[in-house]
């Protein structure tokens, strides 16, 4: 896995400092994995949660509610991106639960779950960034 990045925009740092969430440690660990996956990933707050962008377009966004788990939404951003049916992605990690043809969810139930899925998540993020950058 790539070296851990610790940089963050001021709004994300302030959000995380103020965040009261039963899974805050898991959120921080998952953020570190995502940021380490690609040096071009940027982070901001969207949907009242950290969201990760490539080239200014959201690609992965936390869903923090309900508070008994942490979820990541893998998507292709808010902008219309061509024909959804023409987008294909092979999830080699097995982590994604597909909601639509171009939107999936990864769920973490506790810190042990994050730890167990860390390497798979790292590879999934790299693959998702590449696939959605190339086929936007």
Domains of the chain (ranges plus CATH)?
A: 10-134 (3.90.1150.200)
Mean pLDDT of 68-82: 80
pLDDT tens-digit series, residues 97-106: 999 888 999 9
Task: Give the residue, 7 or 111, on which the prediction is more confident.
Answer: 111
Question: Which residues lie below 8 Å from residue 63, measured CB to CB, with a gap of 6+?
Answer: 47, 49, 70, 71, 72, 73, 105
pLDDT tens-digit series, residues 2-61: 334 444 577 899 999 999 999 999 999 999 999 999 999 999 999 899 999 998 899 999
Mean pLDDT of 53-75: 93
- pLDDT score, position 133: 80
Task: Give the residue, 100 or 124, on which the prediction is more confident.
Answer: 124
Q: How far is CA 118 from the centre of its chain?
A: 12
Rounded to two decimals, what is the model's pTM? 0.86
């Amino acid at each position: 896995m790539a070296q851990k990045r610790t940089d963050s925009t001021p709004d994300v740092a302030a959000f995380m400092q103020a965040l009261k969430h039963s899974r805050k440690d898991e959120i921080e660990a998952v953020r570190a994995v995502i940021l380490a996956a690609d040096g071009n990933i940027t982070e901001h707050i969207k949907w009242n949660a950290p969201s990760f962008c490539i080239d200014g377009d959201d690609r992965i966004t936390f869903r923090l509610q309900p508070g008994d788990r942490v979820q990541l939404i893998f998507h292709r951003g808010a902008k219309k991106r061509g024909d959804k049916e023409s987008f294909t992605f092979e999830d080699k990690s097995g982590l994604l639960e597909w909601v639509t043809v171009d939107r999936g969810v990864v769920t973490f139930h506790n810190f042990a779950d994050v730890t167990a899925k860390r390497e798979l998540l790292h590879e999934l993020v790299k693959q998702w960034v590449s696939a959605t950058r190339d086929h936007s």
